[in-house]
Amino acid sequence: MLALLILSACTPANQAPSIPFLPPTQPPPTVPAATSTPPQAQPTPLPLCQDNLTYVQDLTIPDGSVVAPNTAMDKRWQVENSGSCNWDKGYHLKLTGGNALGATEDQALYPARSHSQAEIRIEFTAPAESGSYRSSWQAFTPDGKSFGDPIFIDIVVQ
């Protein structure tokens, strides 16, 4: 009160006495820190189509066929393009096991539309030596990924 009297004594007569500023007794409420939302995982894009080859049957040279040495063989398989991709010129077959039996180790895969059947043909030559031989083949995508059932020729040379 004494301070107020002293202040009022120093104040000119035509001005109202000023009231001193007193800070609040409680600190202002704190605002919680902004929380950031973790980034959402981006979904993995689905491939446009799936590759698959299903073996149906041997059309020529059944498994275990006996052939003479150095015989030319026209092996054919019936398969189904059981995937959702159409096979084009980029699709191929590769030797994956056994003897190539005179065939080129990388063959074009017959073009086939999705869910249709196709005939695969490879020309082989029987070895000169007697024995059992198997040549296994696998389908590959244009970017080199294997897919589907393997196909093979299985012969006995006598």
Residue numbers in the chain where pLDDT is lower than 70: 1-39, 41, 43-47
Q: Could you give the number of structural domains in the chain?
A: 1
pLDDT score recorded for residue 110: 78
In a domain, 70, yes or no: yes
Domain holding 75, by residue range, is 54-152
* CATH code of 141's domain: 2.60.40.10
3-state secondary structure of 119: strand
In a domain, 17, yes or no: no
Q: Is residue 13 in some structural domain?
A: no
Strands (E), the chain: 54-58, 65-67, 72-80, 92-98, 106-108, 117-125, 131-140, 146-157
> Could you read off the pLDDT of 42-53 as tens digits, one per residue?
766 665 899 999
Q: Is residue 28 part of a domain?
A: no
Strand, helix or coil at 9?
helix
The answer as to whether 61 is a domain residue is yes
In a domain, 79, yes or no: yes
Say if 3 falls within a structural domain: no
The string of pLDDT tens digits covering residues 80-96 is 999 999 999 999 999 99
Nearest to 113 by CA among 86, 140, 135, 133: 86
Tell me the C-alpha distance between 34 and 22, whole Å: 31
pLDDT for res 138: 98
